[in-house]
C-alpha cells in the first residue's frame, strides 16, 4: 500500500511494525521535497562561507 503498485527495490525490517520500503530506482542522494533541497543548499552555502572565513583569518585578510 505504501508505494502504490510500484515495484519494491529494497525492504528493511528493524522490528515488528518498524520497516522501510524503497521503490526500485530510489536514489538516496536525491532530496525528498523542495524544502529538503532548499535546506541542503543553504547548508552548503553556509559551509562555503565558513571555509572562506577560516581561509581569510588564516591568511590575514
- Provide the residue ranges of all domains of the chain, joining segments of one domain with +: 1-27, 31-61
Read off the pTM. Answer: 0.40
Residue 37 region by backbone torsions, left for phi larger than 0, else alpha for psi between -120 and 50, else beta: alpha
Task: Look at residue 3 in the predicted model and tell me its pLDDT.
Answer: 64
Task: Look at residue 59 in the predicted model and tell me its pLDDT.
Answer: 86
Query: For 2-61, what is each residue's pLDDT tens digit?
Result: 667 777 777 788 888 888 777 777 777 766 677 778 888 899 999 999 998 888 888 887
Amino acid at each position: 500500500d505504501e508505494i502504490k503498485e510500484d515495484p519494491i527495490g529494497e525492504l528493511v525490517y528493524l522490528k515488528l511494525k518498524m520497516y522501510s520500503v524503497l521503490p526500485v530506482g530510489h536514489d538516496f542522494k536525491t532530496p525528498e521535497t523542495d524544502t529538503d533541497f532548499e535546506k541542503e543548499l543553504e547548508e552548503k552555502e553556509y559551509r562555503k562561507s565558513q571555509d572562506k572565513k577560516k581561509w581569510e583569518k588564516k591568511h590575514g585578510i
